[in-house]
Structures are given as C-alpha cells and as structure tokens.
Structure 1
Amino acid sequence: MRFLFPILLAALLFPAPALADPVNVAFNAAITAFERAGPRLAASEMGVDVTAYGDALTLGRFTSAYWGGEIGLDVAESRQADRDCARFAAYVRIPPQDGRVGLVICPQFSAEGTDALRRLTILHEMVHVVAGPDECRAMAFAARIEHLALGSFTPVERYWQANDCAASAFRLP
C-alpha cells in the first residue's frame, strides 16, 4: 500500500492532459501539410488560388474569385445528424451567406483512429471554401497537398468512384 500513495499523489499533482480537440488537431495537421507542400505549389493549382486557400486554412479569411470577393469562414460543430452529416464527416455550406461560408463539422469527424481522414477532410473542404463545389477538384487538390507533404495520400478510391471523378478533368497524384 505504501507504494500506491506516491502514485496517487503524482496523479493529483500531475493530471493527465485533456484529450486534444480533434477539430483543432485536424486543422493543425492540414496547415502543417499545406506548409510543407507550399514551396512546390504553383500560384494556382487545379483552379485553386493557392494564396487564398492558405489564407482560408490558416486565417479563416480570403478573397475568392469564384465567390466574387472577400469571404469569411465560420466553423461550427454539429451535435445532430442532419441530412448531410449522415453522409459526411464535414461539409461546407455554400454559396456564401452574408459574405461568409460555413464549415460544418459532423459528429463522426471525431471518431477515434481517423487522424489522416480528418486532415484530408479539412484539406478537401477548404477547397470548396475557396474554389467552389466541384468534389473531384477538392479531392484531387487535397490528395496533391498530402502527396507533396508526406510522399503519399490518404486512400480515396471509393470516394473517387462514387463521384465519377475518373471522368473529370482532375487526377489523383
């Protein structure tokens, strides 16, 4: 019993760190990937203004030629399984309303063991924020960022097929 007292005392004095917020962790991972990929990106990739994309990802504001001007970004977590959250881990409410685009984080976004998918989801959704609704563009661009930053990208074959992206103008790395 004597050896338990120091353990209990240590637990009280040094509590375990709080679990990291999956949304912030995903944004930080996406930002890190984007920053690593940045030096090898052109000013425009796949019709995505890379500077505007970086501003949206890191600052929550940007100028979008697609949406016609300066746009703000609101990030909100959904606690309910609405129609879109039943299908996606996150989605963007577009077109902009009152000069703002909404990024909705769905409950399944926070499922354990999906760190790479969360990073890819943020990279993907931010393309919609800057460059519009094209699913194939968003996935190809997000996969390119991961590939440039990490040497590989999160597998997206099912998504690619479900959206008939093979017939689009976009390609995976």
Structure 2
Amino acid sequence: MRLPLLAMTIAGLLFAAPPARADAALDALNDAIAAFSTARAQLPGELAGVDVAAYGDALTLGRFTSAVWGGEVLLDLYRSDGGGACGRYAAFVDLPPRDGVIRLALCPQFSAEGTPALRRLTILHEMVHVVAGADECQAMAFAARIEVLSTGAHTPVDSYWQANGCARSGFSLP
C-alpha cells in the first residue's frame, strides 16, 4: 500500500529530526489541517486569489491540481539543515515547482521559536505560496482568514504586514 506523499514526508520528518522538533512540526501540520477543516465550510471556492479546493488538497493530501502551476503538483515537506533562506525565515517554499514538485522547507527555528499558534499560522501561510505563488500579503491575508474562521481571532502580524507593504497590496487582514 502506498502512503500519500505528505504522510511519507511527515514520517520522514519524524525519523530525521530530534523528537521534540518532530513533534512541533507534526503538531503544527495537524493544527493547520484542523483549522482549515473548521473554516472550510465557510469559505468560497476562491479566497484572496487562492483556489480553496487546491489549497485543501495540498494541505491534507500533499498533492493538488493547479491552475497557477499548470497541472498536478506534489508537495515535498522537508526539514532543512538551516541553509538557504533559513537565515531569514522559519519556513520557506522553493518556487516555481520543479518537475511537478514544490518543496516546503521547515527551518530549525520553526520548532525552536514561537508558539504553537505561530507555527500553525506559518504552515497556513506557506501553503498559500505552495498553491498560489510568492505574494507575502496574499499568503498572510488568506492564513489570517482561516485563523479567524476557525478560532475567532488571528495571530497578530502587524509588524510583518507593515514590513511587506501589505497596506498597499489590495489584500487585507480580517
């Protein structure tokens, strides 16, 4: 029996990382899936330019059909050794997809810093990049909307919103 790509990747994260760090990654993914599942019934087919069905498939199945990337895309969720963009981010997505695969890296600081809510927000945010592209404001607006629909509030991101010039972007926080 073949496991879905995301299940295999999570299993790889569990075996490749120290237990506390693996638990944080798995907990964040489960929290993001739960938040999206709670919010799903209240979402339109598209929100903030994100195909909600494709987002749900990427988050829960690790694969999705993409109008943005032109076909089926697989998600490779992996733990980074700290190289590349990990100097600036807790997680990042390598775009565009290569050979039908998008890589989402969880950096060492993903598990070392912040709260469970911030890790959940990070997964929700990065999954927007996986599905819809590199726009930081779009990703944060969508992720914040999921949080509001699932928990009644969103994680404060005012400094992030200002640093990325999101007030001029056409996207807004809930």
Q: After TM superposition, where is structure 1 displaced by more than 6 Å over at least 4 residues in a row?
A: none
**CA distance in structure 2 between the partners assigned to 1:93 and 1:113 by the alignment:** 23
**CA distance in structure 2 between the partners assigned to 1:113 and 1:154 by the alignment:** 11
Select 1:21's aligned residue among 11, 23, 45.
23
Residue identity (%): 64
Q: Which amino acid aligns with 2:80?
A: S
Single out whichever of 135-144 and 103-112 deviates more from structure 2.
Answer: 103-112
Q: Where does 1:1-173 land on structure 2 (aligned, <5 Å)?
A: 19=20, 21-80=23-82, 82-111=83-112, 113-173=114-174
CA RMSD after TM alignment: 1.2
5+ residue gaps, structure 2 = 1-18
Any idea what the Cα deviations from partners look like across 1:94-153, whole Å, max 9, x if unmatched?
100010000000000001552111000000000001011111000000000000100000
Single out whichever of 90-99 and 112-121 deviates more from structure 2.
Answer: 112-121
5+ residue gaps, structure 1 = 1-17
Higher helix share: 2
**CA distance in structure 2 between the partners assigned to 1:87 and 1:115 by the alignment:** 20
Report the TM-score when normalising by structure 2.
Answer: 0.86
Q: Provide the aligned length of Structure 1 versus Structure 2.
A: 155
Q: Bigger radius of gyration, 1 or 2?
A: 1
**CA distance in structure 1 between the partners assigned to 2:113 and 2:147 by the alignment:** 20
Q: Which amino acid aligns with 1:79?
A: D
**CA distance in structure 2 between the partners assigned to 1:161 and 1:83 by the alignment:** 24
Q: Which amino acid aligns with 1:169?
A: G
Any idea what the Cα deviations from partners look like across 1:55-106, whole Å, max 9, x if unmatched?
00000000111111110000110122x2411111000001000100000000
**CA distance in structure 2 between the partners assigned to 1:65 and 1:95 by the alignment:** 13
Report the TM-score when normalising by structure 1.
Answer: 0.87
Question: How far apart are residue 33 of structure 1 and its match?
Answer: 0.3
